[in-house]
Structures are given as structure tokens and as C-alpha cells.
Structure 1
């Protein structure tokens, strides 16, 4: 049996997906899902398009959903080798309210599971990305963003879990337990739930195995990668060294301004990132003003004029920055 990694993830850091029209994306995730836009920046590898980050008030790890929006991009195909569904944690008893709320913003939502352990609601964003809301009796201590669209008693607390769909789960599960330090907490049919640390919302991944699912096509409405948390860069470096020693092809540590990252693919084809909790989203703008203006890293600042001309103008709803909107 392979020895378990010395480093262990604390849970989910963020999920990054691909979108089309950035304004539709902004309107859905701020007004529809009730998240806060905590950073409007650009894709550091393709500065002609945005990188939009949504989360709680401060964009804490485990609350984050991020997007690369390319207007006119073809619709992708959700399938094997992808993270196929992203779930957010909401309070028990709130799903009925969410069905009505999504209807009010033109999004069809339906409750898909009402088991004794958890209730699930499925909704698709404007690009067809699968988003689930999960309501359980398990206490989620995270504070919601105080949104004008979604009252606190129903609001998203942060990520709940992600579903990975793969053809053969054995090697994926081995990597997640041996190399990421997660552990199996539940198995039912062809679905296995893993947890990081003590588990609970924000620390869960479901691995769905099916050799009948067609391969995914990464484009609009699909997840690009899923990121796991580590506290700091020293731990990240330790983990990178160990992953490389086990034969994984891992990138160098990359500066993402608000955290640092490494990337590698798990055996089922899903792109994994390991991201640091620090330094956070308030290093280049005050907490009250998060998401208001286009922020660029120092190495792109000399190209600001060209970048601002290239990206599509967008409107940020006033509820994103209620204390400074006027």
C-alpha cells in the first residue's frame, strides 16, 4: 500500500469554470446565487479576458467560484474527466425559497433529492453549468455574504462539495487518499464520498464512476479545474516535492496574486490545483471595495490601457458594494 502524503488538504479552495457573456455571469452569481464579486481581474495567461472571482464577503477559501468568460465561446460537454457539478451549502429548509427565487430571475431550478441526510436543488447558470444547493441539518458555521438579493437565513454559506466523474475510480480514489490525504466517508453504488480533515461542508468530494459517460469537452458551461486548500506556500512546496517524487507531472509554483498555485491532472483526467489560503483578496483594494474596479498584477500593469480596451465593459450591481455604491 502506498504511504499517505505528509501534507493533507484542508478542503476545497475554489472551482474555476468557463463562461460566455461576462455580464450574464455577473448578474447570475451576484443577483441569482447571492455571492459577492470579490475580484475583477484578468486571466493572467490570456489578459484579453476577465477572471471573475465570487465568494463570501472577503472571498475566503472554500467560498470561491471563479470564471474565465469568453463571449461567443462554444458550449462544452459535461462528461468523464471533469468536475461535473459544484454544490454550495445552504441552511436546512431553504430550498423552497430558492426555487421561487431562481424563478424570479429567470432560472429554472428543481429539487432533486429529499433524503433524510440532505436535500439537493439543481440549477443551471446562463452557460449551462450545473450548480447544486445542498441543505442539511449539519451545522455550517460560515457566515454568508449579506446580499440584497438573498436574505441571510437562506444564503449560501460557501462550497459544500464537488462531483468528479471518471471512467475508472480506482486510481482517482487512490490519489485522493494517498496523495491528498482525504478519507472515504460513504460509498453507495458507483459514488464514493471523500472528506478532508473533519469533513463537513466545504471539505467533501464525490467521485462518480461510470464507463458509460462520454468524455467531457472543456468549453463554455464546464469546469476548468478544481482547487484544494493548503495554508501557506511552504506547505505547498512540500506537497509539490512529494507529488513529483510519486511520479506526478506538476507545474512550478505560479503566482496568482491572491494565492499561489500548482497544477496536475489526476488519473481520471480532472485538472487539480493546490492553492494557498494566503495572501487573500484585500491586498490590492479595501474590503468594502472588492470587485469594483479592474485589478491587475504588477507585471501586467504596464499594459493596462490595452487590457482595458480588450475586455468587455461590464456593470457591477450596487449590492456588491452597498457601503460605497453611491
Structure 2
């Protein structure tokens, strides 16, 4: 009997490209108050870092990851790409974040209200030009996993993802893909079309498609989103989803990413999708108390640890109560 496919709960993580590792690390931990939950290296390029930022425990739906490639040229957002990655906070936290970002020298636009006032939005960019949003909404989840080293008050802490925005010249092929993935259209605001999983989680369950028939195509580089990953609970459900995906689109074999297992496919509009398992999680090789403080090398590269450490640019993880310096 075939294993039943678990309903997709929303986003598992978003992976993007950065340039300077230290600048990237400082912005997401010191400015946005996220926790570095894993410092490892790129599976395909082990001489470079792979950073994972999220809530205190690295909960699926909160994880923003980066490939920091020193010297990478800046990308250009365009059709067929994720153009904005949005974080969730309570509506009452918007003034706090507008002031904090401004005080940190970040150019922030109070974009205003969306969907008949249900959402209050701040828009800004990270040091590589990646477009980010902080979305205030009344049903933001409680701050149960606020990062322990951040100086952001727990009540204002980023809860995780609100969702992502994709830019497309036409929405139909992407809408059809989201439909067989279990996402339904939930609303329209101008040329913004909102999709969500009816049985989704509180975090990362808003997939927006902006439609602009005249949009130009972009260029991958620093500040670009590389791919977005959707959640599935375990290996059995992932394999069932792989069978379903193969009915519609080419999909990779299962890839072991140590902290989750992954399959990849490209939706017809051009965005690279991943389906990642919630298991086994980020605490399999270090305790929750010290997540992200030591370099962790993928199992496949364990024999190269000394060489990898010599090649990596040293970075400093700054924390509110202590500072850890590692390669």
C-alpha cells in the first residue's frame, strides 16, 4: 500500500546567495536578531560556508540559509524568480522594526497595508540587495522560540517566515503547480495573487505571485534567492511526493543534506522548488545550547576537515552574552 502524502505545511527554508560572509552573518544576527543555528559548508563547494539562520531551535518554517561566495557579483531580480522574502511579526511590532532598522542605517520603506488592511508591511534590503519584508499581522504566532542571544525583545522577535513573493509574466502554469501541491488561491490585491495550504502551519504558508507581463528576466548572483523549500515531515511522505511530482515535472533523486533530506524540481515559471523533510533537524550533531557556534562539516566531507578549515575565511559570531571566534 502506497504511503499517503502528508499535506504540505508551508515553507521549510529559503536559500539565497551572499557575498561577504562576515557582513552576512552580522546583518542577520545583529540587525534582524536571528540565531545562527548551523555553520557548515556547501556540499558542492566545501571551501565556502553555508549559513543557516532561524529561531532559537532552527524550527522548519524559520530557516533562511545562505551560500556566501566572496566576490560574487550582485544578482538582478526578474521574472521567474523569488523577489521578496517576508518575515512574520505581530502588527504591534511594526513601529519597533521601522525604528530599529532606521537606527541601524538600513533604508526601510513603510510599504503600507495589504489585503484590506490585514497586513502592515516594511520593505528593505540586506547588504547584498536581497529584498526582504517584515509583515505585521494579528495572527502572528507566539514568541515561543525567540533567539537567546538577540537583543530584540522577545515580544518583537521575528517569528519565522510569513512567505515569499515570486514574479511571473503569467500565473497560470505556476498556479497549476501550486494547485496539485495542495495550495489554493486565497485572495488578490492588485496584481498580487495569494496562495496558501488550507491545512498549513502558522509560518511560511503565504506564497504570493506578482504578475507583470512586461517584467524582464533577472540574473542570479549575490542578493538572489537560489531556491525555496517546502516542508514534508519524513522520508516516507517525501518519497510519496516524489512519485506525485514525477507525474508533472522532472525531479531529482533524494539528496542527504545531513539535517534534512531533499528533492528538487523547477516549477514552470522558473523558480527552483525543493521539498525537505522536517527530520532529523539541526540538533543531531550539537546541543541546542551551542547551535551554530562550531563549524560542522557534512558527513561526505569529514575526511577533508583540516583542508576545509584552512580554506575558509575566519568569521566572528557576535552574541549578546559572549563572543565566539572560529574558522
TM-score of the aligned structures, taking structure 2 as reference length: 0.93
Write the deviation string for residues 44-74 of structure 1: whole angstroms up to 9, x where unpaired: 0111110000000110100110000011100
Partner of residue 9, structure 1 = 8
Shift of 1:204: 1.1
Answering whether residue 201 of structure 2 is matched by residue 202 of structure 1, we say no
Contact 2:40 2:297 in 1 (8 A): yes
**1 CA distance for matches of 2:77 and 2:291?**
32
Contact 1:122 1:133 in 2 (8 A): yes
Q: SS where residue 173 of structure 1 aligns? A: helix
Partner of residue 61, structure 1 = 60
Report the more deviating stretch, 252-261 or 102-111.
102-111
Report the more deviating stretch, 166-175 or 110-119.
110-119
Partner of residue 304, structure 1 = 305
Matched pairs, number? 318
**2 CA distance for matches of 1:210 and 1:324?**
46
Contact 1:142 1:158 in 2 (8 A): no
**2 CA distance for matches of 1:39 and 1:307?**
16
Partner of residue 251, structure 1 = 252
Answering whether residue 310 of structure 2 is matched by residue 289 of structure 1, we say no
Shift of 1:39: 0.2
**2 CA distance for matches of 1:47 and 1:187?**
43
Write the deviation string for residues 184-227 of structure 1: whole angstroms up to 9, x where unpaired: 11123322101113455421100111121111211110100000
Q: SS where residue 127 of structure 1 aligns? A: coil
- List gaps (5 residues or longer) in structure 2: none
Partner of residue 99, structure 1 = 98
**1 CA distance for matches of 2:173 and 2:284?**
39
**1 CA distance for matches of 2:7 and 2:254?**
17
Shift of 1:109: 1.3
Partner of residue 276, structure 1 = 277
Write the deviation string for residues 220-250 of structure 1: whole angstroms up to 9, x where unpaired: 1010000000000110011011111x14110
1:147 and 1:103, CA in 2 relative to 1: closer, same or farther beyond 3 A? farther
**2 CA distance for matches of 1:247 and 1:174?**
10
**1 CA distance for matches of 2:278 and 2:6?**
15
**2 CA distance for matches of 1:84 and 1:266?**
15
- List gaps (5 residues or longer) in structure 1: none
Give matches, 1:202-241, under 5 Å: 202-241=204-243
Q: SS where residue 89 of structure 1 aligns? A: strand
Give the aligned CA root-mean-square deviation in angstroms. Answer: 1.7
